[in-house]
């Protein structure tokens, strides 16, 4: 055992030394570069969305840098993002936030993808008093914890499909029926984001006195919805709400058509990232589907960095070869909010920057940004689009609607 103890001692000592030597280098501002930190999902189940997020950040950074960078204290700074891969798991996310802040010395954070990961990271950033601007954590449970350093540019997830429930109620009224006669079916993935959507829908259904006939939580390793859809066929609801990231959107579009589920209104999320209007993949199966979206390239917002929403979509497509889903747009917007706050604070002091963030009043190509006391953006509505003739058209809310709702769907 003697030699053994030595070996162990050596291995432990060397390993601790290695740990000590790793990292430790950069600070929040290196020379003329402002360093932002982000954990994104490059592997695991959110990889696709993680790439959208990262590309959104990258595009914003390169645009801001090419337009002269960020001016603080009369000096121009460039932006840089340090990325880590959170492997789509909250346990990693929490450790990463700590690593970014403590080892890499990051003082300005960007959000990860998904509510679950944001939930895991927010307590850490809060503890270290490091502000985080995020564009992909929509769960409302993030915003009742009293977090002071969390700012979200997107609308919270319970709003995603509430508009659809309201549309169903309006339609019932127009037909001379009471909204309480409407039967609602909900099938959402078993993750924080989708469960929040469910909570929003259930709240609204309750408000209208509607009856919820199906309430299924779909497993995360979802590959088949036929058991739920059989239930839907048996109970004939007036509106079916499905949320399950792009996997859920893809499955419901295929299986609802394949099983001839005749539900007058189908409202889902993540249409864009699942590409449900792609004729090659889905034909016309998505026709009439209602899609919740945070942002659409047809909206009329503008900003000095990208121009209009449409210009942004064009630039993004030129850079990455596809039309940006809203996940990319909201990520880009998060960077723009940082730029604005840093310039307004005119300082790198995190408290000053935090105050500048909370006073943000800004229009970006993505929409207006104004945070309430809890850090969520209250200046931007959700939009509901319908697939009509293979294209997305805005049908609600009325302010943005370009087309009339087709009801029931074909």
Partner 1 sequence: MDNLQLLIDAPVFTLQLLIDGLLAGAIFALAAYGMALVWGVMNIINITQGEFVILGGFVTLYLSYLGIHPLWGVPVSALALFIVGWGVYRLVIFRIVDRDLFISILATFGISILLQQLMNQLFGADIQNADPNLGTLFLFNDDVAIANIKFVALAVTIVTGVLLILFLRKSRIGQAIRATAQSARAARLMGINTDRVYATTYALNAALCGATGSLVVMTWVIHPFIGLIYTVRSFMIVIVAGLGNLAGVVVAGLGLGAAENFAGFLLGTEFQAAFVFSLLVIILVWRNYRLGKKRQYLK
Partner 2 sequence: MNNTLKLVLAVGLGILILAAPLLFPTYQTQLAVLWLMVLLALTWDIMGGQMGYNSFGNIVYFGVGMYTTAVVQRGLFFNVEEYTNLAGGTESQLSLLDYLLSLGLGLASGALLCIVLAVVLGAGILGLRGHYFAICTLGLGIAAGEIASGWDYLGAGSGLVTPLFPETFFNRGIFFYYYFLILAAVSFVVLRYLYSERFGLAINAVRDDEDKAESMGLYTTRYKTIAWSVSALFLALAGGAYGNLIGFIDPMDVAFAGPTLGVWMVLMAILGGKGTLWGPVIGATIFHITQELFWTYLLGWQRVALGLLIIIIVVFFPRGILGWIREQWPERFGQRVEGEEQR
| 346 in Cβ contact with 165 (< 8 Å) | no
Q: How far is the CB of 233 from partner 1 (least distance, A)?
A: 7
76 binds, among partner 1, partner 2, none (CB under 5 to 8 A by kind): none
Cβ-defined contacts of 357-360 (< 8 Å, 24+)? 357/131, 357/133, 357/151, 358/151, 360/151
Of 233 and 314, nearer to partner 1 (C-beta) is 233
Of 162 and 250, nearer to partner 1 (C-beta) is 250
Applying CB under 8 A, which residues contact partner 2?
1-9, 11-13, 15-16, 18-20, 22-24, 42-43, 83-85, 87, 89-91, 94-95, 98-99, 102-103, 116, 119-120, 123-124, 126-127, 139-141, 144-146, 158, 189-192, 194-196, 198-199, 217, 219-220
63 binds, among partner 2, partner 1, none (CB under 5 to 8 A by kind): none
Q: Which of 267, 263, 277 is nearest to 163 (CA)?
A: 267
236 binds, among partner 1, partner 2, none (CB under 5 to 8 A by kind): none
CB-based burial label for 314 (10 Å; 0-12, 13-18, 19+)? middle
18 binds, among partner 1, partner 2, none (CB under 5 to 8 A by kind): partner 2
Q: What angle do CA 164, 269, 267 make, to 5 degrees?
A: 35
Residue 200, φ and ψ in degrees, nearest 5:
-60, -45
Burial 43-70 (b: 16+ CB within 10 A, else e): eebbbbbbbbbbbbbbbbbebbbeeebb
Q: How far is the CB of 164 from partner 1 (least distance, A)?
A: 21
Of 62 and 279, nearer to partner 1 (C-beta) is 279
11 binds, among partner 1, partner 2, none (CB under 5 to 8 A by kind): partner 2
182 binds, among partner 1, partner 2, none (CB under 5 to 8 A by kind): none
Of 267 and 276, nearer to partner 1 (C-beta) is 276
Applying CB under 8 A, which residues contact partner 1?
43-45, 47-48, 51, 187, 190, 215-219, 221, 223-228, 230-231, 233-235, 246-247, 250-251, 254, 258-260, 262, 274, 281-283
Q: How far is the CB of 144 from partner 2 (least distance, A)?
A: 5
Q: How far is the CB of 64 from partner 1 (least distance, A)?
A: 28
Q: How far is the CB of 195 from partner 1 (least distance, A)?
A: 10
Q: How far is the CB of 191 from partner 2 (least distance, A)?
A: 5
Residue 37, φ and ψ in degrees, nearest 5:
-115, 145
Q: How far is the CB of 159 from partner 1 (least distance, A)?
A: 24
Of 172 and 292, nearer to partner 2 (C-beta) is 292
């Amino acid at each position: 055992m003697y030699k053994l103890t030595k070996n162990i001692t050596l291995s432990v000592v060397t390993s601790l030394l290695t740990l000590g030597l790793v990292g430790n280098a950069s600070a929040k501002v290196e020379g003329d570069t402002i360093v932002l930190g982000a954990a994104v999902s490059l592997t695991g189940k959110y990889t696709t969305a993680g790439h959208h997020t990262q590309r959104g950040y990258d595009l914003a950074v390169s645009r801001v840098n090419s337009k002269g960078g960020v001016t603080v204290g009369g000096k121009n700074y460039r932006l840089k993002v340090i990325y880590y891969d959170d492997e789509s798991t909250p346990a990693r996310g929490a450790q990463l936030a700590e690593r970014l802040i403590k080892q890499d010395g990051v003082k300005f954070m960007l959000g990860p993808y998904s509510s679950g990961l944001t939930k895991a990271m927010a307590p850490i950033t809060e503890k270290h008093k490091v502000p985080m601007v995020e564009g992909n954590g929509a769960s409302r449970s993030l915003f009742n914890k009293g977090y002071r350093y969390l700012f979200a540019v997107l609308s919270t997830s319970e709003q995603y499909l509430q508009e659809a429930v309201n549309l169903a109620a309006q339609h019932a009224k127009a037909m001379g029926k009471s909204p309480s006669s409407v039967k609602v079916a909900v099938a959402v993935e078993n993750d924080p984001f989708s469960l929040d959507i469910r909570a929003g829908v259930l709240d609204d259904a309750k408000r209208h006195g509607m009856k919820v006939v199906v309430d299924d939580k779909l497993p995360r390793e979802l590959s088949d919805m036929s058991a739920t859809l059989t239930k839907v066929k048996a109970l004939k609801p007036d509106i079916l709400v499905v949320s399950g990231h792009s996997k859920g959107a893809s499955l419901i579009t295929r299986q609802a058509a394949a099983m001839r589920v005749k539900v007058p209104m189908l409202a889902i999320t993540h249409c864009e990232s699942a590409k449900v209007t792609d004729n090659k993949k889905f034909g016309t199966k998505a026709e009439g589907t209602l899609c919740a979206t945070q942002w659409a390239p047809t909206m009329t917002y503008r900003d000095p960095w990208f121009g209009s929403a449409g210009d942004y979509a064009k630039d993004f497509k030129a850079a990455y070869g596809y039309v940006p889903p809203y996940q990319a747009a909201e990520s880009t917007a998060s960077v723009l909010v940082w730029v604005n706050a840093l310039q307004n604070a005119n300082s790198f002091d995190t408290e000053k920057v935090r105050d500048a963030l909370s006073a943000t009043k800004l229009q970006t190509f993505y929409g207006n940004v104004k945070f309430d006391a809890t850090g969520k953006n209250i200046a931007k509505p959700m939009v509901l689009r319908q697939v009509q003739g293979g294209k997305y058209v805005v049908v609600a809310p009325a302010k943005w609607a370009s087309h009339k709702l087709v009801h029931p769907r074909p």
